Amino acid sequence: MMTEQPESTPRFAVDAMLGRLARWLRALGFDTTYSPDIDDHDLVALANCEQRILLTRDRHLITFLRPDQGLLLTFGRPLTQLDRVARTFGLSPTDDLFNRCLMCNSRLRAATTDEITALVPVRSRALPGPFLVCPGCSRIYWPGSHVKRMRQSLADLFPELQADNGV
């Protein structure tokens, strides 16, 4: 069974090597910062200041810069990394799936009719929706075949998604 995210839900900071993991965490609804150009010292300072868990593949970040909270990931595949993060921090799916922009982390909002007309390809406008837009970067999202594939990948890691979402 999926649940609402409580205020104590972990927030993440992800290093430059884990951009695809950041998108998967965002798809699950987790607040995840990812700035591939940020300096290592600044990334650790940001994670500490905002009480985020730093996820990295860089041993130097964990060993020498010592973030308050961090996890060294040694696996290369994003879904394997996601599984490790979920098991380490006890993450489970919430009702907040696909409600964050996969690119900039902003919370999505319902798209207006004008936005749908301007931004959604004609062949996709007949889909039942919802159509969501990112207020940060203006990307638009809808439940196309890519969402179905992502849901199936998430259901492989979180079996409760199959029962709750009919994946």
152 Cβ partners below 8 Å, 6+ apart?
A: 167
48 Cβ partners below 8 Å, 6+ apart?
A: 67, 68
Report the domain count for the chain.
1
Q: Is residue 135 exposed (0-12), middle (13-18) or buried (19+ Cβ within 10 Å)?
A: exposed
Confidence of residue 163 (pLDDT cuts 50, 70, 90): low
Please check whether residue 77 lies inside any domain of the structure: yes
Residue 23 maps to which CATH number? 3.40.50
Cα 134 to Cα 156: distance, rounded to the nearest angstrom: 27
Please check whether residue 78 lies inside any domain of the structure: yes
What is the extent of the structural domain holding 42?
10-91
Cα–Cα distances (Å) from 38 to 33, 44, 137, 154, in that order, read 11, 10, 19, 29
Please check whether residue 107 lies inside any domain of the structure: no
Please check whether residue 26 lies inside any domain of the structure: yes
Confidence of residue 4 (pLDDT cuts 50, 70, 90): very low
- Residue 166: pLDDT above 50? no
Please check whether residue 155 lies inside any domain of the structure: no
- Residue 1: pLDDT above 60? no
Relative orientation angle of helices 19-27 and 145-157, to the nearest 10 degrees: 90
Please check whether residue 101 lies inside any domain of the structure: no
Beta bridge partners of 70: 54
How large a percentage of the chain has pLDDT more than 70? 93
Please check whether residue 50 lies inside any domain of the structure: yes
Global pTM reads: 0.89
